[in-house]
Amino acid sequence: MGKDEKGKIRMPRWIKRMLVVFITVFTFGLVTPPEYLYVDDAKADKQHKAGYVRETTPVTAVIEDIHLPYEEPKYEDVSSFVTYAMESAEKQSVEKFGTKIGPVIEDEFRQAVLPKIEEVLTDIGTEREQSIQNLEISEHPAAGYGEKIFHVYDRETGQDLIRFHVRRENPPKDGYWFNFHYHAAADNFQKHYDLGKIYWNRNMPPKWFS
């Protein structure tokens, strides 16, 4: 047994606990153990809990201070929107053409059709200039015989504004053509607005993505 700072005998905690048990058992609970047998344990337990609070508080503060990273807008004006949209339009068109159709029509598509797509994108960007950051370009062109290339839609409402498509045509005795066109929300996508036609040949073209 050691002594504390005041010169008093310092009894090990396990001896104190045994004394509490002996006194309680042998007196059938009629005698209350001396207070000093509880004081140190109570103080130790209180200090332990206080230390626990001090350690966890900063962690809680850190968690509460976490913020989601700021996401830079893709575009801030009509020009930057058109640049972004044209890059996506060309990428998704080439993806849709695949390795069999692409090499045959890519050059003509870039020369004859892409400039007209750019005009339409500029018009929709100008029309929606005040809320241009809400404009978004869809992904995943349609495969197989589907017409979809990409759509321009409002990110907030999820509603399509312009739908750019390509349709296969086979006029009698004239071979196969790819008809590039778009539909607009203004007329509930009913009207067909031509962007240009590209000739394939007299044989049926492969499926998109092939």
Residue 170: predicted pLDDT: 95
Please choose, from the candidates 131, 126, 90, the residue with its C-alpha nearest in 3D space to the C-alpha of residue 110.
Answer: 90
190 and 183 Cβ atoms separated by less than 8 Å:
yes
Beta-carbon contacts of 1 under 8 Å, excluding residues fewer than 6 positions away, are 9, 10, 11, 12
Residue 14: predicted pLDDT: 61
Residue 61: predicted pLDDT: 40
Residue 7: predicted pLDDT: 53
Render each residue's pLDDT in the chain as its tens digit; 210 residues. 555 555 555 666 666 666 666 666 566 555 565 555 555 554 444 444 444 444 444 444 443 444 445 455 578 899 999 999 999 999 999 999 999 999 999 999 999 999 999 999 999 999 999 999 999 999 999 999 999 999 999 999 999 999 999 999 999 989 999 999 999 999 999 999 999 999 999 999 999 999
Task: Read off the pTM.
Answer: 0.66
Report angle CA 190, 191, 197 to the nearest 5 degrees. 130
